């Protein structure tokens, strides 16, 4: 009898652990909805013969295999610019631009003459930056392709891609394959934990939201309505899945460590 009880308890614990792992797997592989750029503009600054954007419309829409080409003449004081325009300005928090070369392996040094800047309408977000390894993800199989990936916490509906003729080391051209934005719920929540107390990022609408914690056995162990962005969990140290649902019905979920 006792042996059977232990077997049943062990099976139940294994099942709950499997449920937790399934939850984690589902979170990490959750489907995203891509909102592709649906319009574009291009412009050349300075005096430059041979500068411009070839096939500019190839950079917009869901086809991730064709591309526009931003051309410059190496050594001249000129730059070519293409702006990708997106359908959403506030809902998304991730921005991805697919780029490439005509065969040269990409890295931050090679792309030193490429800069980006986001806008909301005609108003700059004051985030002008050159490409660095921090925001550049190289292709797994083709080193001449990569992605610019930005986490956005302010409204935006377009990004300007600038190629400086005097600095570009890609033989005078940059390919832009696609641009899309999406909402990633797992990066939207900044959480700090100390002595069992959890503090949420102040940008979250915490007051009136409901928060739950699920432990590594897949069991919900905590649920409360928040009055502020800080709350006590009274839970043992360890890893939990925290889910927050705002008064507007927005849901954020993230793995946290309670210390």
In angstroms, how far is CA 109 from the centroid of its own chain? Answer: 23
Among 166, 191, 58, smallest CA distance to 113 is for: 166
Q: Give me the pLDDT at residue 11, please.
A: 52
| Domain CATH for 210 | 2.60.40.3080
- Give 182-233 pLDDT, tens digit per residue: 887 655 456 777 777 888 877 677 889 999 998 888 889 999 999 988 888 8
| Domain CATH for 158 | 2.60.120.260
Residue 23 belongs to some domain of the structure: no
Sign of the CA dihedral 218, 220, 222, 224? Answer: positive
- Give 137-189 pLDDT, tens digit per residue: 888 889 999 999 987 867 899 999 999 876 666 677 899 999 999 887 655 45
Question: 122 versus 201: which is more confidently predicted?
Answer: 122
Q: Give me the pLDDT at residue 159, please.
A: 98
Q: Are 23 and 57 in contact (CB under 8 A)?
A: no
Q: Which band of pLDDT confidence, cut at 50, 70 and 90, is reported for residue 17?
A: low
Last residue of a domain, one of 182, 202, 232: 182
* CA 165/CA 147 separation, integer angstroms: 21
* CA 153/CA 167 separation, integer angstroms: 30
* CA 84/CA 77 separation, integer angstroms: 24
Secondary structure class of 4 (helix, strand, coil): helix
- Give 19-52 pLDDT, tens digit per residue: 455 444 444 444 678 999 999 999 999 888 888 9
In angstroms, how far is CA 119 from the centroid of its own chain? Answer: 17
pTM of the entire structure?
0.65
Q: Are 23 and 40 in contact (CB under 8 A)?
A: no
Is pLDDT above 50 for 130? yes
Helix/strand/coil percentages in the chain, nearest 5: 10, 40, 45
Among 44, 86, 83, smallest CA distance to 182 is for: 86
Pair 110, 230 in one domain: no
Question: Residue 22: how many CB atoms within 10 A of its CB?
Answer: 11
- Give the domain extent around 234: 186-258
Residues 6+ apart with CB under 8 A from 71: 50, 51, 52, 53, 54, 80, 172, 173
Pair 61, 143 in one domain: yes
Pair 168, 50 in one domain: yes
Pair 197, 176 in one domain: no
Dump the DSSP string for 5-67.
HHHHHHHHHHHHHHHHHHHHHHHHT-----EE--EEEEEEESS-TT-EEESGGGGSSS--S--
Question: 179 versus 251: which is more confidently predicted?
Answer: 179
Pair 102, 228 in one domain: no
Among 85, 157, 90, 151, smallest CA distance to 120 is for: 157
Last residue of a domain, one of 182, 204, 225: 182
Pair 166, 41 in one domain: yes
Give me the number of domains the chain comprises: 2
Pair 176, 213 in one domain: no
Q: Give me the pLDDT at residue 176, please.
A: 98
Residue 5 belongs to some domain of the structure: no
Question: 221 versus 88: which is more confidently predicted?
Answer: 221
Question: 190 versus 87: which is more confidently predicted?
Answer: 87
Q: Lowest-confidence range among 40-44, 123-127, 247-251, 254-258?
A: 247-251
Secondary structure class of 190 (helix, strand, coil): coil
Secondary structure class of 247 (helix, strand, coil): coil
Pair 176, 192 in one domain: no
* CA 40/CA 178 separation, integer angstroms: 11
Pair 142, 254 in one domain: no
């Amino acid at each position: 009898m006792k042996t059977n009880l232990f077997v049943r308890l062990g099976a139940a614990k294994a099942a709950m652990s499997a449920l937790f792992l399934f939850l984690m797997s589902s979170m990490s592989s959750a489907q995203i909805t891509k909102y592709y750029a649906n319009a574009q503009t291009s412009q050349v600054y300075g005096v430059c013969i041979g500068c411009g954007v070839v096939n500019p419309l190839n950079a917009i829409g869901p086809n991730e295999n064709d591309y526009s080409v931003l051309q410059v003449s190496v050594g001249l004081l000129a730059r070519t610019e293409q702006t990708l325009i997106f359908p959403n300005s506030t809902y998304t928090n991730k921005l991805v631009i697919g780029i490439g070369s005509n065969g040269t392996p990409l890295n931050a040094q090679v792309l030193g003459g490429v800069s980006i800047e986001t806008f909301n309408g005609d108003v700059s977000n004051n985030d002008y930056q050159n490409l660095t390894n921090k925001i550049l993800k190289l292709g797994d199989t083709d080193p001449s392709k990569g992605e610019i990936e930005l986490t956005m916490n302010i409204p935006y509906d377009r990004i300007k891609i600038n190629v400086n003729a005097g600095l570009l080391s890609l033989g005078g051209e940059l390919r832009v394959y696609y641009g899309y934005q999406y909402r990633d719920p797992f990066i939207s929540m900044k959480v700090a934990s100390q002595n069992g107390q959890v503090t949420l990022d102040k940008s979250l609408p915490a007051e009136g939201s409901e928060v739950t914690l699920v432990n590594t056995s897949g069991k919900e162990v905590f649920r409360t309505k928040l009055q502020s962005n800080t709350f006590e969990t009274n839970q043992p140290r360890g890893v939990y899945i925290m889910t927050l649902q705002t008064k507007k019905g927005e849901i954020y979920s993230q793995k946290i460590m309670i210390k």
